[in-house]
Structure 1
Amino acid sequence: MSDPAPDLADPVELARYKAELRHVAAGTRQLGFLLAGLGILTAILRGTVMPGLPELVPLVLIVTALGLMLIGIVRRARYHLGRMRGL
């Protein structure tokens, strides 16, 4: 049996639900942020210290990061919709 939808009008339940929602797909989103930072750092280093590094490396890191963040956002939104429906 699943949990009933939280009462978002109740401040205590709202705070509890926000904490619960923060944990949904947190690893996916954090990995996305990490890869985005690594991609930006790689792009900066490519322009200064490592000019021989292919342009594709920072681009792949940043595009992968964007994909992971979008996956995390979609998973969190689907979880929220399911919880509001009491699923």
Structure 2
Amino acid sequence: MTPPDLSTPAARAAYRKELRGIARPIRLMGVILAIIGAGLAVYRHLWMPTLPTILPLVFVVLGALHMLAGIVVRTRYHQRRMLGE
């Protein structure tokens, strides 16, 4: 991999677009899981108090872990790319 060309605004925009695509499915799944967890928490609060409290929490935590994993993957990619590996 060669280091990105960041000398022009167009090249910086292209590299930003490239970075946004790295680990996007992982980050998107994190957002989806967090939204499901929040929805389950509301559902439990309003309509089904017998639903275990841990279930919405599990979804929110899994969502956070997915987001963290996506951030780590993207950061490592950026570091490797900047070093030219």
TM-score (norm 2): 0.95
The residue type paired with residue 19 of structure 2 is L
Q: Which residue of 1 aligns with 2:50?
A: 52
Matches within 5 A, 1:1-87: 2=1, 4-87=2-85
Q: How much has 1:35 moved relative to structure 2?
A: 0.4
Rounded Cα–Cα distance in structure 1 between residues aligned with 2:38 and 2:26? 18
Aligned residues: 85
Q: 2 CA distance for matches of 1:9 and 1:39?
A: 43
Identity of aligned residues (%): 44
Q: 1:26-78, CA deviations, whole angstroms, 9 ceiling, x for partnerless residues?
A: 00000000000000010011000111100010000001101000000000000
Q: Which residue type is aligned with residue 54 of structure 2?
A: L
* Alignment gaps of 5+ in structure 1: none
Structure 2: gaps (5+ residues)? none
Letter aligned with residue 8 of structure 2? D
Which amino acid letter does the alignment assign opposite residue 43 of structure 1?
A
After TM superposition, where is structure 1 displaced by more than 6 Å over at least 4 residues in a row?
none
Task: Name the SS of the counterpart of 1:53 in structure 2.
Answer: coil
